[in-house]
Structure 1
Amino acid sequence: MSLYRLNRLFNPRSGRALDVAVDHGFFGERSFIAGIEDMERVVATLVRANPDAIQLTVGQARHLQSLPGKAKPALVLRTDVANVYGNPLDDHLFSHHLPNAIEEAVRLDAVAVCANLMHLPGRPEIREANIRSIMALRVEATRYGMPLMIEPLVMQDNARGGGYMVDGDVDKIVTLVRQAKELGADLIKADPTDDIANYHRVIQVAGDVPVLVRGGGRVDDRTLLERTAAVLDAGASGIVYGRNVIQHEKPAGITAALLAVLHDGSSVDEALAILDGAAA
């Protein structure tokens, strides 16, 4: 039954998906809402750009789902919230999922829900909390036929890497991705590796579970498109980008460029030409 909803996430021609994540405000970090203060406007802009999906929270999903018509991006619903991104970290850390997350996803007509699986150095209690959330969500997701996207995050020590820096060590990523599969992921949203040439190892360990690659921090357009092409060549089923789209000076243009690479097989130079010709 999960596959029925995923038919609305993946492009039928390419079998791939671009999910634009705009769930950053959920985590209570002031810096995360730069550029997305007006969510109604942001969602309207993204709908016009027409990615395959937009990732939103239970409090913001209405901006997408209240729009009439069938020709709009699908909804991916963020289900968990944590305070692990501060620098310095709070003395008390937590991670919780919405207790009625799957029912909310059904009511909101989501195509999938997303939950974290974090490895934070020296704080195993966060990973434990994530695993407890995933196990609870898996039960309800199975009952309602709701695809569960698990997001393995191998994080750096906040004191060294800042509040939102991930560790691109392929061995660490592979280990956490494998745990996500073992916990019953229908989809996996994984970080890029430091050496993209090693990304095939992430795809291999995920097996038959589709992998969507996270965008991470802001990079220049060519780097973003080259990395996108590389992970697709390695076998990724799509991408989940946030700041590289919503903080771009041409959000619709970069979306069109990314979609061209995903669905049309366009080269990086062809995609950059699409971006250059797009309106601001």
Structure 2
Amino acid sequence: MASFRLNRLFNPASGRALDVAVDHGFFGEPSFLGGIERMSHVLDVLVEANPDAVQLTMGQAAKLQSRPGRHKPALVMRTDVANVYGNPLDEHIFSHHLPHAIEEAVRLDAVAVCANLMQLPGRPEIREANILSIMELRREATRFGMPLMIEPLVMQDNAAAGGGYMVDGDLDKIVALVRQAAELGADLIKADPCDDIAQYHRVIEVADGVPVLVRGGGRVDDRTLLERTARVLDAGASGIVYGRNVVQHENPAGITAALMGILHDGLSVDAALALVSEDAR
């Protein structure tokens, strides 16, 4: 039954999806608000750009779903909140999922919900908290036919990252955590790119049929972003979940058009880059 909702996430021709994540305000970090200070304006831009989905929190989802008409991005709802990104970190680190998250997602007509599975060096209690959340979410998601997207995050030691935890691109660690996400019953997996993109097929293989959508991470230049996108798709990824690389772009509509061109129309990187400039005119 969960597949019924996923029919609204994945493009029927390409079988792929672009989910633009704008749930960063949930984590309470001032530095995360760049480009998304006025969410109503952000959603005006994104609805016009028309990616396949927008990832929002329960508190912001109504700003998308209250808009009239059928032709707008689908909603993916973030279900958990944590304080692992602070610089400096708080003394007490936590991660909690929302009570009744699945019921809220049903009421808000989401196509999927998203929850973290974090591996933080020296903090196994956070991974335990995530696993407990995922098990509870899995139970309710099955009951209501709501697809569950699990987000395996392998993080560097906070000292190496200069304060808050940052992504670790170690392929072996990513593969192991992606496999755990599959074992926990993920309908979708939102995974990091690895340091050596040529080996990304290993992530797809270990997911073994669970669609993998690749995270975007920090801002990079357009060519780097589009080339990486093409390579993970060639490796077998079913889509991408990009946030800052879209909403902090000087031309969000143009970069969305470029990404959608690669995802759904098989455009080359050069042809997709031309769309960024074309849309800016």
Mapped contact 1:87–1:159 kept (Cα < 8 A)? no
Question: What is the rounded CA distance, in whole Å, between the counterparts of 1:172 and 1:44 in structure 2?
Answer: 38
Name stretches of at least 5 consecutive residues in structure 2 with no aligned partner: none
- How far did residue 278 of structure 1 move? 1.2
Question: What is the rounded CA distance, in whole Å, between the counterparts of 1:187 and 1:265 in structure 2?
Answer: 22
Mapped contact 1:106–1:146 kept (Cα < 8 A)? yes
| Structure 1 residue aligned with 2:187 | 186
RMSD over equivalenced CA pairs, Å: 0.8
Name stretches of at least 5 consecutive residues in structure 1 with no aligned partner: none
| Structure 2 residue aligned with 1:169 | 170
SS of corresponding position for 1:93: coil
Larger deviation, residues 187-196 vs 157-166 = 157-166
Larger deviation, residues 59-68 vs 159-168 = 159-168
| Structure 2 residue aligned with 1:37 | 37
- How far did residue 87 of structure 1 move? 1.9
- How far did residue 89 of structure 1 move? 1.4
| Structure 1 residue aligned with 2:22 | 22
Report sequence identity in percent: 81
| Structure 2 residue aligned with 1:110 | 110
- How far did residue 161 of structure 1 move? 1.4
| Structure 1 residue aligned with 2:237 | 236
- How far did residue 184 of structure 1 move? 0.3
Mapped contact 1:245–1:254 kept (Cα < 8 A)? yes
Question: What is the rounded CA distance, in whole Å, between the counterparts of 2:222 and 2:195 in structure 1?
Answer: 18
SS of corresponding position for 1:81: strand
| Structure 1 residue aligned with 2:253 | 252
Query: In the alignment, is residue 149 of structure 1 matched against residue 142 of structure 2?
Result: no
Question: What is the rounded CA distance, in whole Å, between the counterparts of 2:66 and 2:280 in structure 1?
Answer: 27
Query: In the alignment, is residue 278 of structure 1 matched against residue 279 of structure 2?
Result: yes
Mapped contact 1:86–1:158 kept (Cα < 8 A)? no
Question: What is the rounded CA distance, in whole Å, between the counterparts of 2:48 and 2:150 in structure 1?
Answer: 28
Larger deviation, residues 100-109 vs 88-97 = 88-97
Query: Deviations 1:188-217 (Å, cap 9, x if unpaired)?
Result: 000000000010000000001000000000
- How far did residue 88 of structure 1 move? 2.0
Query: TM-score, normalized by length of structure 1?
Result: 0.99
Query: Deviations 1:196-244 (Å, cap 9, x if unpaired)?
Result: 0010000000001000000000000000000000000000000000000
| Structure 1 residue aligned with 2:11 | 11
Query: In the alignment, is residue 86 of structure 1 matched against residue 86 of structure 2?
Result: yes
SS of corresponding position for 2:159: helix
- Count of residues paired in the alignment: 280
- How far did residue 276 of structure 1 move? 1.2
